[in-house]
Amino acid sequence: MSDLSPFKSRIYVRKRNAGLTPEQRTRVLLWRPARASAAVKETRVLPSGLHVRFLRVSKPRLAGRTLLFFSDTHIRSAGISGFFPGVSQRGGTEWLTKAFHELFDAVPMPDCILFGGDLAGEAAWIGQGLDFLRGLPSGPHKFAVCGNWELRRRWLPAERWRDLFAEAGFRLLLNDSADACGIRFHGLDDAKEGDGLSGEADIPRSENVCILSHNPDAAAAMLPTDRLKGAPLILCGHTHGGQFRVPGFGAVLTSSRFGKRLEYGTYRHSSTGATMYVTAGIGATWFHARICCPPEVLFVNFC
């Protein structure tokens, strides 16, 4: 995608994304929640309160490969209240930097680090957010996708974001692909503010594909079944797991157009067996609190 400047017809993009075809809505129904015990094998809580979810994915050709996925940092001036032990996020990047130092002391170095978008919640913190990304370990391959906050706030054109992410060591994928460690990574554009719900997603035909999509709506609606036959792994964010969760019910509200259907956790495609994980992310949006929904990152082990 060569020109996604936020100054270029936001109204036009919204009109194209206003509705989905019956076929696209049917695709969403093929995604079903997976049993927690069959998906996330372990959860480790770090002293900072950051939760690390360990997901095992069966792909013998990729056995031994590991990925670290995190999303929705929403760095801003205001801190985040957590109504559970161990979490007291201050504004800025102080808590985030501390939590990731603990993270890399607690887990093996991943082969790839993946960022799911929505870096900053205020324009003043873009620079500090990029500094945080730049400070992550230099060994792994790094890829990112744009979130709706990168595109909606009229801060910067998408091509400028591509350059900034590159300076921070991340390759930004906007409806394109890149190869690393025997895996083909494909990044979808955002569903709310970009082209994520326009046309068919041109996903590479390969068994060793990992798809990054900030919003699960784009991944669920735009991926035809024939492109999921290799059972790719799909990693998403955006919903924050609802940010406020009620035990036994889950998210009170989500930012998905499909409501609670794609709110949080691991999903399986009923026809192909593809796996999609929707992370609760790390930061917060308009309400500076997380209730029964701790900040998390995902550590993927292929076996």
DSSP 286-299: SS-EEBS---EEEE
Enter the CATH code of domain 10-302: 3.60.21
Query: Alpha-carbon distance 18 to 3, whole Å?
Result: 21
Cβ neighbours of residue 8 under 8 Å, at least 6 residues apart? none
Question: Which amino acid makes up residue 206?
Answer: S
* Other CB atoms within 10 Å distance of the CB of residue 248: 5
Alpha helices in the chain (DSSP H): 10-16, 22-29, 36-39, 94-106, 126-134, 148-152, 158-167, 216-222
Give, in degrees to the nearest 5, the angle at Cα 244 between 220 and 266.
35
Here the tokens at position 216 are 């699960």
Here the tokens at position 87 are 């979490």
Cβ neighbours of residue 260 under 8 Å, at least 6 residues apart? 250, 251, 254
Predicted structure pTM score: 0.88
Tens-digit pLDDT string for the chain (303 aa): 333 333 333 333 333 344 677 888 888 889 999 876 567 888 999 998 899 999 999 888 999 999 999 999 999 877 676 655 445 566 788 899 999 999 999 999 999 999 999 999 888 889 999 999 999 999 999 999 988 888 765 677 778 889 999 999 999 998 888 999 999 999 988 766 665 555 555 666 667 889 999 999 988 888 888 878 888 899 999 999 988 888 889 888 888 888 888 999 999 999 888 999 999 999 888 778 788 889 999 999 998
